[in-house]
Amino acid sequence: MLRRAGRAAGQVFYGMTTFDWVRDLRRGRAENESLFLLIAFGDLVGLPLLPPYYSLRLLPFVMPSLERWKRALLRERDWTDLIGLIEGAE
């Protein structure tokens, strides 16, 4: 019981302190990965930038992230998407 409460308090604490920091880092990494995928596999979204030979050699390494990348790239966005980045605006 006490251990569970302690763990929950730790998780709340993490949420209040470094959770958004970690998310920003993830966002930065995702942007870099997205750029790489766009260069290497641009033809998947209609932008052939790299000769297919090299793309095919890279394919096994990027296979796990392809689906996620396409979903993130093609998602509809508007201004209100950015709101999530402004924490504690009150």
Partner 1 sequence: MNSLLVLILAAAGIVLGYFVYARHIDRKVVQPDPKKATPARMYMDGVDFTPANRNVLFGYQFKSIAALGPIMGPIVAVQWGWLPALAWVILGTFFIGWVQDYGAMMMGVRRDGETMGALSYKLISPRARRILMIFIYFYLLLIMGSFGNAVGKNLMTNPRNPLGMIIVVLMGILGGQMTYKWRRDIILTTVVTVVISFVGIWVSTLPGVAAFFTAIYGGAKSPVLFLGNTQAQVIGTLLVIVFCYLGSVLPIWSYAQPINYISFWIVSLGMLGGLIGLLIWRPGMGDFPVYTQFTTASGPLWPILFVTIACGAISGWHSLVSTSGTARQLEKETDALPVGGGAMFMEMGFAVMAFLTATVAFGGLKGYQDAGGAGAALGVFSKGLAAFLNVIRVPREFGMAYGSVFLTIMALTIMQLAVRFMRVASAELVGKQVPAMKNTHVGTIVALILTLVFVWVIPWLTIWTAFGAANQLMAGLALLLIALWLMSEGRKHAWALYPSAFMIITTIAALVYLAYTNFAKLGNPKITTQGFLASLLVGLIAVVLTVAAVILVADGVKALAKPGAHKQPKAA
- Does 54 sit near partner 1 (CB under 8 A)? no
- Does 61 sit near partner 1 (CB under 8 A)? no
CA atoms within 13 A on the CB side of 86: 7
Among 6, 26, 54, 56, binds partner 1 (CB under 8 A): 26
Under rule CB under 8 A, how many of the chain's residues touch partner 1? 37
* Cα gap 47→9, rounded to integer Å: 48
Q: Which stretch binds partner 1 (CB under 8 A): 37-45, 54-62, 65-73?
A: 65-73
